Amino acid sequence: MTQPYRIEPDLDFVRDVIGSGGDTLKKCFQCATCSVVCPLSPPEEPFPRKEMIQAQWGLKDKLVKDPDIWLCHNCNDCSTYCPRGAKPGDVMNALRKKAIEHYAAPQAIAKRVGDPKSLPLLIAIPAILIAVLIGLTNLWWHGEGPTRVVHGETIVLDESIRSWEMIPMWTVDVLFILTGLFAVSVFARGVLRFWGDMDSARTRKMGFIPAAIEVVKEIAFHSNFKECGTNQDRYLGHLGVFYGFVALFITTSCIFAGVYFLNLIVHVPLTPWPLWNPVKLLGNLGGISLLVGLFLIIRNRLNQEGDETASSYYDWFLLGMVITVGASGMLAEIVRWMGIGFLYYILYYIHLVAVWSLFAYTPYSKLAHIVYRTTALIHNRACGRELLAKVPVVCMTEGQETQAS
């Protein structure tokens, strides 16, 4: 028998959800069409109908620890078929933003990342930090001269344009390692709290490792994403961005390992490496995959806006950061190849600011979904909560006689 539940509405939370893209929340009249058409909703305790009413009632404590908000891939099939135009897909998106804010510490940063008025401050912090570092190291591009000491040997550099003439590579590496450690610690704290909250609500039937292996396979093939009906092209865009990030991560790790560790055993040439170098090739392919994926996602998003589907500032903040990282990195490489030193140093500076922002703000931005969604998927799999059997669903709403499958 269902136990009585004392409702303690949080009206600020309702206002926040409405202000975060869930402005149609109050239109829901609980018909459950959304849960029926959702291709990812499990048969037991399906979403997003229950999240709609919980959000209307302001049940923040239930919603922020609800793994189901992370099982949603924002395909918007539910919004397409909702007879009231309540756009449950957008509400789920807003709930994920509130969950990230709840688990990321300090919450003051999380609130600023989600607030358009704080954008100038968020850009100014890395812009000033990196400018000060450049000034302090006193190595503007003509400052160091054409030689460099490596392992006690003085190496004569050629005349090509090199990033360390603006700022030494070790300075950049130390800054990014410290920023990365900060991001990892914010994630670790948030994920541990989230896992504990989920564990208190459901019992696990499978070990963490087997569940994690299944989830990694699912993510690698984006198998859940493929189930979306309305937004099929979003699947390709997301796949491009995902594998672009993976390739760039491998490239950065190889360069880091080559310069600092492999160099102790064998000689590894200093960067920049030639275009035909396999690591460089992988990095360039990753950059292209990232930009193509972003193009598809943005095109899809703009088309949705034409269909009156809300797109929040939170989404655009992440897209803007990733575009700036990808575009500034590739443009810097092109102008360096063309020998335009002045433009190269400006683009490299913008690239550093963008990469630092991506590192530092990731635990508070929409990109944090990578971590929280993976955690929720693992917990879900470990609890034996299976997705809905893939059966065709016929939806007949006013003006719509389309078959969703």
By CB under 6 A, tell whether 312 contacts ligand SF4. no
Rounded Cα distance between 90 and 373, Å, is 17
Nearest approach, Cβ of residue 82 and ligand SF4 (Å): 3
Nearest approach, Cβ of residue 41 and ligand SF4 (Å): 6
Stretch that binds ligand SF4, among 83-91, 108-116, 147-155, 307-315 (CB under 6 A): 83-91
Rounded Cα distance between 77 and 309, Å, is 11
By CB under 6 A, tell whether 77 contacts ligand SF4. yes
Task: Output Rg (C-alpha) for the chain, integer angstroms.
Answer: 24
By CB under 6 A, tell whether 67 contacts ligand SF4. no
Nearest approach, Cβ of residue 373 and ligand SF4 (Å): 12
Nearer to ligand SF4, 132 or 394 (CB): 394
Q: Which of 14, 52, 100, 172 binds ligand SF4 (CB under 6 A)?
A: 52
Stretch that binds ligand SF4, among 22-30, 179-187, 301-309, 332-340 (CB under 6 A): 22-30
Q: Which of 55, 82, 130, 294 binds ligand SF4 (CB under 6 A)?
A: 82
Nearest approach, Cβ of residue 71 and ligand SF4 (Å): 7
Tokens describing residue 352: 């550093």
Rounded Cα distance between 152 and 171, Å, is 19
By CB under 6 A, tell whether 95 contacts ligand SF4. no
Nearer to ligand SF4, 87 or 162 (CB): 87
By CB under 6 A, tell whether 20 contacts ligand SF4. no
Residue whose structure tokens are 């390992």: 257
Question: How many CB atoms lie under 10 A from the CB of residue 43?
Answer: 11
Stretch that binds ligand SF4, among 88-96, 169-177, 200-208, 357-365 (CB under 6 A): 88-96
By CB under 6 A, tell whether 72 contacts ligand SF4. yes
> Residue 11: which H helix or E strand, with range?
helix 11-19
By CB under 6 A, tell whether 99 contacts ligand SF4. no
Within 13 A of 184's CA, how many CA atoms are on the CB side?
6
Q: How big is the site for ligand SF4, counted in residues (CB under 6 A)?
A: 27
Nearest approach, Cβ of residue 370 and ligand SF4 (Å): 17
By CB under 6 A, tell whether 148 contacts ligand SF4. no
By CB under 6 A, tell whether 86 contacts ligand SF4. yes
Q: Binding string, 28-47, against ligand SF4, x = CB under 6 A?
A: xxxxxxx---x-xx-----x
> Residue 37: which H helix or E strand, with range?
helix 33-37
Give CA 275 to chain center in angstroms. Answer: 29
Within 13 A of 231's CA, how many CA atoms are on the CB side?
29
Rounded Cα distance between 72 and 61, Å, is 19
By CB under 6 A, tell whether 76 contacts ligand SF4. yes
Question: How many CB atoms lie under 10 A from the CB of residue 385?
Answer: 18
Look up residue 82 and give its DSSP letter: -
Rounded Cα distance between 384 and 203, Å, is 9
Stretch that binds ligand SF4, among 23-31, 162-170, 302-310, 314-322 (CB under 6 A): 23-31
Nearest to 366 by CA among 20, 123, 86, 8: 20
Rounded Cα distance between 276 and 186, Å, is 38
By CB under 6 A, tell whether 49 contacts ligand SF4. yes
Nearer to ligand SF4, 78 or 186 (CB): 78
By CB under 6 A, tell whether 387 contacts ligand SF4. no
Tokens describing residue 175: 């800054």
Whether 376 and 201 have beta carbons less than 8 Å apart is answered as no
Q: Which of 88, 237, 244, 329 binds ligand SF4 (CB under 6 A)?
A: 88
Rounded Cα distance between 17 and 180, Å, is 30
> Interface residues with ligand SF4 (CB under 6 A)?
28-34, 38, 40-41, 47-49, 52, 72-78, 82, 84, 86, 88-89, 92
